[in-house]
Amino acid sequence: MLNLMATTLSPGATLAKRTCVFDRLTASSPNIKSATLTRISTADLRLLFELYDKIFFDHRFTQVYQGRLKFSLSQRMTKSAGKTFFPRHPDKISPGEMTIEIRMGTDFFFKYDEIDCDKTVCGITTTSALEAFLLVFEHELCHVIEFIHFNNSNCSGKRFKTIAKNIFGHTASYHELPTHRQIARVKYGLKIGDPVTFTYEGKKVKGILYNINKRATVMVGDKNGNYTDKRGNRYTKYYVPLEFLV
Ligand SMILES: [Zn+2]
């Protein structure tokens, strides 16, 4: 069997190949035209995979793996920036029936430029949303490679780390992209527990900032509210975009 892990690249060679993927993607994708990400489709993920297979693996990927690769996007991933799903019992499936799915979150990349801070991905300092996206995609490809060869994959394991280091120069298995909480703190000076005010149906409403995700969760005192705290105070919950809070 051809081996996808037989690739060991120098840092310079990896960077040159990644730059080539970057350039070809922005040249071919109808959605991605620069280093900033504002739109992406699953067809872009398929294209990205084909570019990696060609530029990093000389088309060996499609020769080694007979199963199906599925690509999906999620707007809801708030911790991981990418995820790979494998069959639970690969030994009971014939190679041709295997399906592995790479799911990429979009949120971290669409909000990449919101604040200035260190944006390290897989141990590499990134300077653009697309560069960060490629590194996360590479991490997921390493999961696929490890799974194809060993029927399991774990990015905290030594074997995974060796694959990721040899092919892509990754030195860590996590990202440090800004979260909504960091953006709220740096850009809006807001943190959980802060008193906040916003306008709802033309009226000023006061509440407490209870959680921060894509939108802020604000608890507003209301004697008919559905939520009760330990002291028996009742609240109604509102979801408010961060920029509408003062
Ligand atoms: Zn992982």
- Please say which residue of 159, 178, 197 terminates a domain: 178
Residue linked to tokens 């975009």:
241
Residue 183 lies in a domain: no
Do residue 94 and residue 216 come from a single domain? no
The CA 175 to ligand 1 mean position distance, Å, reads 10
The amino acid present at 230, given as its one-letter code, is K
Do residue 10 and residue 128 come from a single domain? yes
**For each of the chain's 246 residues, which pLDDT tens digit applies?**
568 887 889 999 999 999 999 999 999 999 999 999 999 999 999 999 999 999 999 999 888 999 999 999 999 998 899 999 999 998 898 888 899 999 999 999 999 999 999 999 999 999 999 999 999 999 999 999 999 999 999 999 999 999 999 999 999 999 999 999 999 999 999 999 999 999 999 999 999 999 999 899 999 999 999 999 999 999 999 999 999 998
- Please say which residue of 178, 212, 229 terminates a domain: 178
The CA 11 to ligand 1 mean position distance, Å, reads 21
The CA 132 to ligand 1 mean position distance, Å, reads 15
Do residue 89 and residue 210 come from a single domain? no
Quote the pLDDT of residue 178: 95
Integer Cα distance of 212 and 188 in angstroms: 12
Do residue 94 and residue 140 come from a single domain? yes
Residue 65 lies in a domain: yes
The CA 211 to ligand 1 mean position distance, Å, reads 26
Residues in CB range of 200: below 8 A, 6 or more apart: 238
Do residue 147 and residue 226 come from a single domain? no
The CA 137 to ligand 1 mean position distance, Å, reads 10
Integer Cα distance of 200 and 42 in angstroms: 37
The CA 84 to ligand 1 mean position distance, Å, reads 8
The protein residues having their C-beta less than 5 angstroms from ligand 1 (an ion) are 155
CB 26 within 8 A of CB 34: yes
The CA 155 to ligand 1 mean position distance, Å, reads 4
The CA 145 to ligand 1 mean position distance, Å, reads 12
Quote the pLDDT of residue 62: 86
Integer Cα distance of 136 and 131 in angstroms: 9
Integer Cα distance of 88 and 130 in angstroms: 31
Integer Cα distance of 4 and 189 in angstroms: 47
Instruction: Provide the residue range defining the domain that includes 54.
Output: 4-178
Do residue 221 and residue 111 come from a single domain? no
The CA 172 to ligand 1 mean position distance, Å, reads 10
Residue linked to tokens 């960060």:
132
Residue 171 lies in a domain: yes
The CA 39 to ligand 1 mean position distance, Å, reads 24
Do residue 105 and residue 135 come from a single domain? yes
The amino acid present at 19, given as its one-letter code, is T
The CA 83 to ligand 1 mean position distance, Å, reads 7
Residue 209 lies in a domain: yes
Do residue 136 and residue 46 come from a single domain? yes
Query: What is the dihedral angle through the alpha carbons of 104, 110, 114, 115, rounded to the nearest 10 degrees?
Result: 20
Total domains in the fold of the chain: 2
Residues in CB range of 227: below 8 A, 6 or more apart: 219, 234, 235, 236, 237
